[in-house]
Amino acid sequence: MEDNYELLIVGGGISGSALFYEISQYTDIKNICLLEKYDEIATLNSNGTANSQTIHCGDIETNYTLEKAEKVKITAKMIEKYCLQYGYENKIMFKHQKMAIGIGYEECRFIVKRYEEFKELYPYLEVYDKKTLEEIEPSLIFDENGKGRDEEIVGVGTANEYTTVNFKALSNTFIEKAKDNPNIKADVFFNSQVKNITKEDGLFIVTTKDNKTYKAKMVVVNAGAHSLYIAHKMGYGLDFGQLPVAGSFYKSNKMILKGKVYMVQNPKLPFAALHGDPDLLLDENTRFGPTALVLPKLERFRSGTYLDFLSTLRLDLNIIKIFKDLLKDKSIRNYILRNFLFEVPYFGKKAFIKDARKIVPSLQESDIEYADGFGGVRAQILDKKNQKLVLGEASIDTKEGIIFNMTPSPGATSCLGNAKRDVKLICEYLGKNFDEKRFVNDLEETN
């Protein structure tokens, strides 16, 4: 006998599991289902090996505008309050020193100016001169011979904020908390790749690859890069294409940096600047990255998905125009080519270490190695109508009972905030109630 659900969620990464949790805790929806393609929760981009394990709250992300930082800070604090509520500090969520650094005259002026602009939003931030950096993060200053940097260097950061999360472990807690609620039916089905979604008589019919069928009054698709693929199959989001960008890492077998160190973002480059992070899965040894490698597939380290990429790219003159505009800039062309080089054995490390030495002058080739199996794919949205690359998250609310979410960085940080947005839409569509007062009390920071 087929089960009829009020809500069905496609995708068991951090976004899908966060929505599953919020529906179970803060609404009167009693019958929900989550379908996960693989045999466990958060195996792709929410896995600790696929991301930098960073709570991106906007304080050291130098490519965030003040407006974006204000929004991201709210959702980042939700993760912190959730983990503190259930005692997950120092188990899933950790404190590390963190900073953004500027090197050379122009970058240092930029960092100090940004600090002045953002210090009211982040009153805990401090400015670190070279002498202070020698004390708190000496690897930024000294080369292999113990000689200090000649260039000017300034850091802006803090040592007493929660900075790091194992997002896979966090995803699992969301699922566990939802299933522990005795007042609802919360089903999770693994190895359930969605093949087709149709709508008949007001119900969505969701069919999986193994020909199982599920029915639901509403569907939310949180399937990473495959969200747009499913949307296209249903005739939605046809003005969007996708550019899958893979991030690789190099890892060390020792703690080179005491905390997170981020560099100034090149405003011409649409991808993250190189940074060093303590890796929770590597005993807090330092991991450097990510690189930015354009790949013609939607999932890293998984077979197939090449045809899925071609399907979601929707190549036409608008897409060609976007690529042409990106590649006509010499610095972007060189960046793309250099990131391909980082993947090449032997030569890749030699090229990468030149960039990494901007952070750690003493870094030697023997200190790092290519991190096999680390990295993921962040599908960036191509807006065909406006002929531009859209960075960050995107959502397609069809107003017809199905929502498609694409959540590259900072999607993991924003998972609870994005889920709240969808909870409101879901309750409105289904005629259900959202206990926003309790949600705010539990998860939102109050001044």
Q: What is the pLDDT of residue 270?
A: 65
Range of the domain at 216: 4-443
Gyration radius of the chain over CA positions: 22
Distance CA(229)–CA(242), nearest Å, equals 9
* Tokens coding 287: 């991991």
What are the strands, taking DSSP E only, across 307-409? 368-370, 376-383, 388-390, 394-397, 402-406
Q: For residue 191, how far is the Cα from the chain centroid?
A: 23
Distance CA(83)–CA(89), nearest Å, equals 6
Q: What is the dihedral of CA 50, 43, 84, 437, to 10 degrees?
A: 110
Q: For residue 45, how far is the Cα from the chain centroid?
A: 7
Please say if the pLDDT value at position 329 is more than 60: yes
Say if residues 284 and 95 touch (Cβ distance below 8 Å): no
Percent of the chain with pLDDT over 90: 91
Contacts for 388 with CB less than 8 Å, ≥ 6 apart: 322, 325, 382
Q: What are phi and psi of 71, to 5 degrees?
A: -70, -45
Confidence of residue 331 (pLDDT cuts 50, 70, 90): confident
Identify the DSSP state of 273: P
Task: Kindly state the average pLDDT of the residues 428-438.
Answer: 98
Q: Are strands 203-208 and 402-406 parallel, antiparallel or unpaired?
A: unpaired
* Tokens coding 98: 């963190």
* Tokens coding 267: 């405003």
Task: Kindly state the average pLDDT of the residues 21-35.
Answer: 98
pLDDT of 271-323, one tens digit each? Answer: 778 999 999 999 999 999 999 999 999 999 998 899 999 999 999 999 999 99
Distance CA(48)–CA(156), nearest Å, equals 26
The chain-wide mean pLDDT, for the chain, equals: 95
Distance CA(81)–CA(3), nearest Å, equals 35
Q: Return the closest-CA partner of residue 24 out of 399, 438, 441, 404.
A: 438
Q: What is the pLDDT of residue 392?
A: 81
Task: Kindly state the average pLDDT of the residues 363-389.
Answer: 95
Look up the CATH number of the domain holding residue 357: 3.50.50.60
Distance CA(188)–CA(36), nearest Å, equals 8
Task: Specify the higher pLDDT residue, 212 or 446.
Answer: 212
pLDDT of 87-125, one tens digit each? Answer: 999 999 999 999 999 999 999 999 999 999 999 999 999
Distance CA(284)–CA(276), nearest Å, equals 11
Q: What is the pLDDT of residue 1?
A: 37
Global pTM reads 0.96
Q: Are strands 98-103 and 260-263 parallel, antiparallel or unpaired?
A: parallel
Confidence of residue 447 (pLDDT cuts 50, 70, 90): low
Please say if the pLDDT value at position 267 is more than 50: yes
Task: Kindly state the average pLDDT of the residues 384-406.
Answer: 94
Distances (CA, A) of 444 to 13, 28, 447: 22, 20, 10
How many separate domains does the chain show?
1
pLDDT of 40-90, one tens digit each? Answer: 999 999 999 999 999 999 999 999 999 999 999 999 999 999 999 999 999
